[in-house]
Amino acid sequence: MRYNIKMKFKRLSEYLTRIEQTKLRNEIMGILAELIRESESREVEQVINLVLGQLRPKFDRLEFNLAEKMVVRAIAEASGERVGEITKRYKTGGDLGEVIEKLKVKKTRLDNKREDRGVGEVYEELEGIAEEIGQGSQERKVKRLAKLLNTLEPEGRKYVVRVVIGKLRLGFSDKTILDALSFFEFGSKEGRAEVERAYQVFPDVGKIGKWVKEGGVGSLERRAQVKLGTPVMAALAQRLRTAEEMIEKMGEVVVEPKFDGTRVEIHWSRNQEDEEVTQGGQDALFAENKPQEWVKTFTRNLDENTKMFPELEKIGEQIVGEEAILDTEAVGYDPKTGKMVPFQLTITRKRKHGVAVAQTTVPLRFYVFDILYKDGKSLLNRSLIERRKILEETIKKGEVLEIDEAIVTSNAKELREYHTKQLAKGLEGALVKKSQGKYEPGRQGWNWVKFKEEEGEKGKLSDTIDGVVMGYYAGRGKRQKFGLGAFLMGVREGEKILTIAKIGTGLTDQQFEEIYKKLEKLKVEKKETRYLVHKTLEPDVWVKPELVVEVAADEVTNSPTHTSKYALRFPRLVKLREDKNLEEVTSVEEVKEIAGV
């Protein structure tokens, strides 16, 4: 069906208000499907990004870089109100969007046209504000934002301000949009698996929405292809407790060392001329002696982080071919001894400034364990054995890239011995992969499995657990100075997040302060719709499910209050896992595997 109605920003604001007033995830999905149906094909991409509170997908972020005090100034300029009064209102209500919604703005020649502004117009103006750079850019951003606010009706002003400060407060993610796209076409989740597959290969939910709108879910297999410059969602490992289970479920396996480093997806081209790939690509690395050699890297969270890895500038010397996408683990090493350093030191390389000094102190080696694309061809559907053969033909010996060692076996005893050998080396153990398995983004089936600790008795944890922080409790007594006294941690069950631990002991003062600072940036006013929490465990402050923590515990016990039905006995923080996202949080099934319950 064709839609001749151009989406007005006022109409989009009405949809956002409906979503904000809804707590049920299925209802939110239905509202989003309505919104997609009403939008024109050419504006669906913009609409989807705006309802997610962004201008572009995560891997190609375009941020406003406007501090709240600068947004306060823009509101003051738009309304004629004093900065002090706006700050006072903000401190009282805690929402700058609501502050501007309730204020009258200065009269302009567009007073009678405020309800006619199209989504495309507003989006392009927001994009222009974000793209302002150079001397005086902050002042220009303030003036442009004030001017934009003057051209919108109250509800629209509220949502524009929230988008600019990164606090849209609607409580859903890309995954809800994927559900809505299936619901848009089928009235059910019938097409959800196809949409999810497309998203894992091409994680730009705005583009996927545009393609579904134009050609339906059936068009995604053709359109959502591996593309240089767009990260593929990382393949993730499940957990099984014993070597025998692994061989039983997986058959012949490739067994590799499990490094304690940080996952890096490397996109490289010897002569990159594709404008679409390099647009916004000022962060890509170009080797000085080879101006057209191009490198870009992404975290497993889809963040572009190329500038952190100057080691990769000349990797073309180690690559046979014209272009490739490599899956690697970056591990720091001691420049004097050549030995690998702990994760805590490797992660110090995660910085925007002082990279050259950090490179000297903690140089990195990139252990390459997979190849996803080479010379214009996707390799995702090739077997692991085939991909490793291509990898060995592609990577030459050198200082930066190194193909990880591996054995192929279908013998549980040999698997266990290899695992024990890796532990003795100080590594995390073994990573076990189905030899005939395709590269499957996300956590799917028994394609990849972790084998980290020695097998233990029932109830005892054979591995740590990666949980997501759902909220925190106010600090009392001596912890009052930290801002929090404990945090609530959850694990996954499908798309729901269920509680498993309340953690407030075993943290250093520095860890309390660090966690509080991070959680302050993730605060939300209402509980996420995907959170299931017993009323006796509700925290003082809810947060977005973005901070992943690695936790150890003595054992897992049954629990009548935790919604996962399990509790961690004597849980303790191992480390923050900022390199991981919600997809990589441990599932309830994995908890049972780890504990053997």
Can you name the residues that pair with 262 across neighbouring β-strands?
Answer: 330
Q: Which two tokens stand for residue 356?
A: 């050259």
Q: Does residue 262 register a pLDDT over 70?
A: yes
Cα–Cα separations (whole angstroms), residue 167 to 57, 146, 152, 355, 544: 16, 18, 19, 30, 11
**What average pLDDT does the segment 240-252 reach?**
92
Residue 24 or residue 250, greater confidence: 250
pLDDT in tens, 533-591: 999 999 999 999 999 999 988 888 899 999 999 999 889 898 888 888 888 899 998 88
Based on the residue annotation, tell me whether 158 is a catalytic residue of this protein.
no
Residue 87: left if φ>0, alpha if ψ -120 to 50, beta else—which one?
Answer: alpha
* CB neighbour list of residue 555: distance below 8 Å, 6 or more residues apart: 459, 460, 461, 568, 569, 595
Asked whether the beta carbons of 539 and 484 are under 8 A apart, the reply is no
Q: Which two tokens stand for residue 274?
A: 């594709």
Rounded-to-integer distance, Cα 433 and Cα 451, Å: 11
Report pTM.
0.83
328 in helix, strand or coil?
Answer: strand
Beta-strand relationship, 253-257 and 448-451: unpaired
Rounded-to-integer distance, Cα 198 and Cα 132, Å: 33
Rounded-to-integer distance, Cα 343 and Cα 266, Å: 20
Rounded-to-integer distance, Cα 25 and Cα 40, Å: 24
pLDDT in tens, 16-52: 999 999 888 889 999 999 999 999 999 999 999 999 9
Domains contained in the chain, CATH given: 9-53+172-223 (1.10.3260.10), 68-165 (1.10.3260.10), 240-451 (3.30.470.30), 465-595 (2.40.50.140)
- Could you tell me what percent of the chain has a pLDDT over 90? 63
The residue among 511, 460, 464 whose CA lies nearest residue 483 is 511
The phi, psi pair for 162, rounded to 5°, reads: -65, -40
258, 433, 452, 502: the active-site residue: 258
Q: 456 exposed, middle or buried (CB, 10 Å; 0-12, 13-18, 19+)?
A: middle
281 in helix, strand or coil?
Answer: coil
Q: Note the pLDDT of residue 126.
A: 97
Rounded-to-integer distance, Cα 97 and Cα 169, Å: 10
Q: Note the pLDDT of residue 345.
A: 78
Neighbours of 336 (CB within 10 A): 6
**What average pLDDT does the segment 343-354 reach?**
71
For residue 525, name the pLDDT band (cuts at 50, 70, 90). Answer: confident
For residue 361, name the pLDDT band (cuts at 50, 70, 90). Answer: confident
Identify the helix (H) or strand (E) that includes residue 156: helix 154-165
* CB neighbour list of residue 595: distance below 8 Å, 6 or more residues apart: 458, 459, 460, 461, 462, 555, 556, 566
Q: Note the pLDDT of residue 317.
A: 95
**What average pLDDT does the segment 298-302 reach?**
91
Across the chain, mean pLDDT equals: 88
- Could you tell me what percent of the chain has a pLDDT over 70? 89
Q: Does residue 3 register a pLDDT over 60?
A: no
Q: Note the pLDDT of residue 352.
A: 63
Q: Note the pLDDT of residue 461.
A: 66
Rounded-to-integer distance, Cα 238 and Cα 587, Å: 9
Q: Note the pLDDT of residue 109.
A: 58
pLDDT in tens, 413-438: 999 999 999 999 888 899 999 999 99
Q: Note the pLDDT of residue 392.
A: 97
Q: Does residue 447 register a pLDDT over 60?
A: yes
Q: Does residue 271 register a pLDDT over 90?
A: no
Q: Note the pLDDT of residue 273.
A: 61
232 in helix, strand or coil?
Answer: coil
pLDDT in tens, 484-521: 889 999 999 988 999 999 998 878 888 888 899 899 88
Asked whether the beta carbons of 455 and 241 are under 8 A apart, the reply is yes
Q: Note the pLDDT of residue 380.
A: 97
**What average pLDDT does the segment 4-9 reach?**
74
Q: Note the pLDDT of residue 65.
A: 93
Q: Does residue 483 register a pLDDT over 80?
A: no
Compute, in degrees rounded to 10, the torsion defined by CA atoms 264, 268, 272, 278. Answer: 0
Q: Note the pLDDT of residue 462.
A: 66
Residue 482 or residue 141, greater confidence: 141
334 in helix, strand or coil?
Answer: coil
Q: Note the pLDDT of residue 338.
A: 81
Q: Does residue 287 register a pLDDT over 60?
A: no
Q: Does residue 340 register a pLDDT over 90?
A: no
